Chains A and B, each alone.
Chain A
Amino acid sequence: MQYVDFIAIGPLLILAVFIVAVMLLIALRRNHKTTMALSLFGLLASFGNIPFAARFAPRAVTPLLIIDGYALFYMGLILVAAAATVAMAYGYLDKQDEAPEEFYLLMLIATLGSMVMVACNHVGSFFLGLEILSVSLYALSAYTRARTESLEAGLKYLVLAGVSASFLLFGAALIYAETGTMDFATIGAIFEKAPEARHSLTLMVGLGFLIVSVGFKLAVTPFHMWTPDIYQGAPAPVTAFVATASKGAVAAFLVRLFAPIDLNAWPSLYAIFACMAVGSMVAGNLLALMQTNVKRLLAYSSIAHMGYLLTAFLAGGKNSAVFVAFYLAAYSVSIMGCFGVMTLFSEKDRDADSINDYRSLFYSRPWLAGVFTAMLLSLAGIPLTAGFIGKFFVVSANVGSSHWGLVTTLALTSGAGLFYYLRIIVAMFTPLTDGESVPVSQKPSVPVLSAMTLTALSTLLVWLGVTPSWFMELIGRMIR
């Protein structure tokens, strides 16, 4: 390795250094505030290093990692999501009985894992990143040990992630047996340039297993069953992280893996993804209609959103990666905001995840209700929010490729989807009648950090919704 290689992977290295530092700090002296501050500083320092790394991009650092604009963009996204999670987890963990410090350690490790995933160029590094992420997430999901549902979530995630990892390993092994390479770019090139490879049973099974494993992580139909339970059981900040950084990393990997392959020229593969997309949009949106638990509702809505994301991915053409990235960014901001509000109202023994917890919130906390409303409207894809622009580009790209079936499904299902977002909004605007009370305290103290984070997220939401040009250009510049 050369000197510049170290600068190129600077964001990863810095985060790793801070992981060790946080670990030592916890060993030396337990202090919630200091640990949180150091973790947040570590994330921001790593983020601040991205421009320096970008000077040497694209650069393959060992055969395992490739640091290009694409990887760096997603690293930035993951770091921002992680920083927001950490900032909002502070107030949440303050209310819990468990020692809060290790939460930050695990969060940093999970972030590192996601960042490796978006920069991977090799089955080995992908597997490493995935496992670093997953193992920390098992522990994070079960972090609030006193709650049974949290333990259940941790265990479920352990089993499912284990299964999906074994699919990945087996699939990769099959592909390796046939092609003799574990390098993603080479594998992709083989599929694209040697059409006879598409008739090899071993390769197809291997590829199929890879898709299954990615499908599990993305939680697209028919691999979506775990999502509601994990979303519901895991502590709200962890759910936020799973929904944004973890899914974002997998989506980034998916796009990178299939970048050399022209999906529209490979009908069977296209059909598989199209079925997953349509299934996710339909199942996610319809199942969400029935939910009374906000976390479960958002879990189903996230399944639908992953369906939209796959639709963007399927649009093909040179801009599809840009649209996926924009959509993911918009989605991350909105869902992070939703869970951010939720963490504020969560109490020691339970998260504020019932729709009833938000009854008449508009009258007791108008600003928080406003933020929550904006985030939900963004998820629903209403103008003035980032979600609208994201969805608009997804639809527009697919109309451009004449994928009318996908687009019509998207329009119809997201129309149905409005209904459940509205339910939460309506609940917030419904006043309590005399004698009624809300299950949780609607007058929580709002920590400064949470307030700042929510303000930043809301600003970003509207900013991206009104002037998306600069961000599109940024993505376009980094990704190409």
Chain B
Amino acid sequence: MIMAWLILIPVLSGIFAWSLELRFRGSARWTALVALAVGLGFTCYLAHQPFELVPSGGPYFMNLDIPWIASAGIHFHLAMDGLSLVLVLLTHFLGIVAVLSSWTEISEKAGFFYFNLLWVLAGIIGVFLSMDLFLFYFFWEMMLIPMFFLISVYGHENRIYASVKFFLFTQISGLFMLLAILGLYFVHGKQTGQYTFNYFDLMGTPMTGTMGILFMLGFLTAFAVKLPAVPFHTWLPDAHTEAPTAGSIILAGLLLKTGAYGMIRFVIPLFPEASAAAAPAVMALSVVGIIYGALLALSQTDFKRLVAYTSVSHMGFVMLGIFAWNTLALQGAVVQMICHGLSTGALFFLAGILKDRLHTRDLGQMGGLWATAPRLAGMTLFFALASLGLPGLGNFIAEFTILMGVFQVNKIIAATASLGLVGAAVYSLWIIQAAFHGPLKVKKTFADLSFRETAALTLMLVGLVYLGLNPGPVFRMAQPSLDHLTRIVSITNPGLPNPAKPFSFNTSTPHPSENPGGTGHAIR
């Protein structure tokens, strides 16, 4: 029941915040903050449970299954494993940051703003917890409308264009996923006589090769658009640039992660053969995304647009790690999801702060700001360094682990992908140089970071340092699920039946005693 509450809290408090704001101005942000803090509290409480609760059968430690539209085999089915837990934790954390970032930015129509903010978060949490494909699609679509409003109502100059583009891209790709879900539903139903949308039942549905490829592509399209993978990435820079700060944080930090999550949870486990066939192509596409995103980022002058393109590059690493499909690369992908959420979220936050102070996002018009706003500059430097993958910070661990995992699968791809790190170094330092060094171009003085801003950024900073020095907890939390997934499906050697060890030292060990901590220990 606690999982249903995780979704219900933001839903209800969204309505509450909106109606309260009509009566008392300025109350909505408090409502949102309190609601998310309560949710975070719940999740933290859960985070202390899993290791005792893991049942021997699988990595899920919570399950909630209520018939919803029983005649069609649709259930309100939520389950939580370490992977979901980590992402739900991230959702609440970034949700709080998003609220803090819009504390003063949104003064008009604040009730509707926080309503949408909370509903997006509810949809995202739902996506991370759903184990019924209908329910998953339901939440997948539910994230969309509030996000659309966040951009189209509270965004910048070109917001309508950006929001409509975002909506059409994600909605149309989502329809393909719906078709694939239904196709899978009927293929399974016809073979077993049991018509169900249950994820666990649908896993391992036998189907012909073409069918598998088509269904897999249906899912993959939806997730690749969200991720975003080249060539479906064009909505992202527009949406990011025009969105309000909180919108950008949620978009980069959470919405993109739903795409990656979908690949880990659905694409590969449901369609192992098709994914195996597509894996080389998808990995190649990821590398293209990594390099192309970095190159495009280099040529941007708009702060937010630049960061948006770095997202394309960083999320390329995530996709690469997922399709390498060994525990090591997957661990890296999960950590990358979190670190990217934190570092990019922070960079968007900083871009929003600069925009708020200077009324421009153009890096060409900044310059020499270090003297005016040293705290702001220092923070930006930190997150830019995190983004370029400085050792000691989370992103380094993540990208390094991914590359290590990928290296075992395909050396050329791993080598090419590592070029993205060079690009990352260049564009990250370019942000710092353009905005904070050189001659001072902005004459007027402005306030440095306020206490609220510093507090929010410090939280993210601490998170990144912690993950960089001690990624073990995240590895350990995600480990059982990833081990489980790589054990039951293998895409690297599709010919072998249930191969436990595609590679020598890292993956799934049937006997935990041989390698008690798994990869988590190996890394630390």
A-to-B contact residues, CB < 8 Å: 362-363, 366, 377, 382-384, 388, 392-393, 395-396, 399-400, 407-408, 411-412, 414-415, 418-419, 422, 426, 429-430, 467-469, 472-473, 476
Contact = CB atoms under 8 A, between A and B. Distances in A.
Given A418-B168, A469-B70, A383 B142 contact: yes
Interface stretch (B91-99, B176-184, B445-453, B471-479): B176-184
B295 interface: no
Interface string B80-120: 00000000000000000000000000000100100000000
Contacts of A429: 149, 152-153
Contacts of A468: 69
23 contacts: A362-B153, A382-B145, A383-B138, A383-B141, A392-B178, A395-B178, A395-B182, A396-B185, A399-B179, A399-B183, A399-B186, A407-B179, A411-B176, A414-B175, A415-B168, A418-B167, A418-B168, A419-B164, A426-B152, A429-B153, A467-B68, A469-B70, A476-B71
The interface residues of chain B, by DSSP majority, are classed as: helix
Nearest to B180: A399
Interface string B439-480: 000000000000000000000000000000000000000000
Nearest to B143: A383
B12 interface: no
A469 B171 contact: no
A414 B174 CA distance: 12
Contacts of A472: 69, 71
A181 B88 CA distance: 66
Given A395-B178, A396-B185, A415-B172, A422 B71 contact: no
B412 interface: no
Contacts of A418: 167-168, 171-172
B141 A382 contact: yes
Nearest to B173: A415
Contact of B179 (A366, A395, A469): A395
Given A422-B167, A469-B69, A411 B145 contact: no
A426 B164 contact: yes
B166 to A, nearest CB: 11
Contact of A399 (B137, B168, B182): B182
B160 interface: yes
Contacts of B148: 422
B72 interface: yes
Given A418-B171, A429-B149, A429-B152, A473 B186 contact: no
A34 to B, nearest CB: 38
Contacts of B179: 395, 399, 407-408, 411
A227 B441 CA distance: 61
Contact of A377 (B145, B164, B172, B175): B145
Nearest to A402: B186
Given A422-B164, A469-B71, A415 B145 contact: no
Contacts of B160: 426, 430
A407 B152 CA distance: 30
Contacts of B189: 400
Nearest to A370: B112
Listed from nearest, the 7 A-B pairs whose CB atoms lie closest are: A415-B172, A399-B182, A411-B175, A383-B141, A383-B138, A429-B153, A400-B186
A384 B168 contact: no
B164 A415 contact: no
A383 B178 CA distance: 12
Nearest to B119: A384
B112 to A, nearest CB: 8
Given A395-B179, A414-B175, A469-B68, 13 more contacts: A363-B109, A366-B112, A382-B145, A383-B137, A383-B139, A393-B72, A399-B179, A399-B182, A400-B186, A400-B189, A418-B168, A426-B152, A472-B69
Interface string B161-203: 0011001100110011011001101100100000000000000
A391 to B, nearest CB: 9
Given A383-B138, A415-B171, A396 B69 contact: no
Contacts of B139: 383
Contacts of B152: 426, 429
Contacts of A426: 152, 160, 163-164
Contacts of B176: 411
B89 to A, nearest CB: 25
A422 to B, nearest CB: 6
Contacts of A383: 137-139, 141-142
A49 B69 CA distance: 29
A396 B171 contact: no
B379 to A, nearest CB: 33
Contacts of A384: 142
B484 to A, nearest CB: 30
Nearest to A465: B138
A393 B69 CA distance: 11
Contacts of B144: 382
Contacts of A377: 145
A202 B431 CA distance: 79
B164 A473 contact: no
A362 B112 CA distance: 10
Contacts of B175: 411-412, 414-415
Contacts of B72: 393, 396
A465 B282 CA distance: 36
B41 to A, nearest CB: 27
A96 B186 CA distance: 54
A411 B149 contact: no
Contacts of B70: 469
A250 B42 CA distance: 54
A411 B178 contact: yes
Contacts of B109: 363
Nearest to B71: A472
A377 B145 CA distance: 9
A320 B395 CA distance: 53
Contacts of A393: 72
Nearest to B195: A400
A362 B149 CA distance: 12
Nearest to A397: B182
Given A415-B171, A418-B167, A422-B167, A396 B182 contact: yes
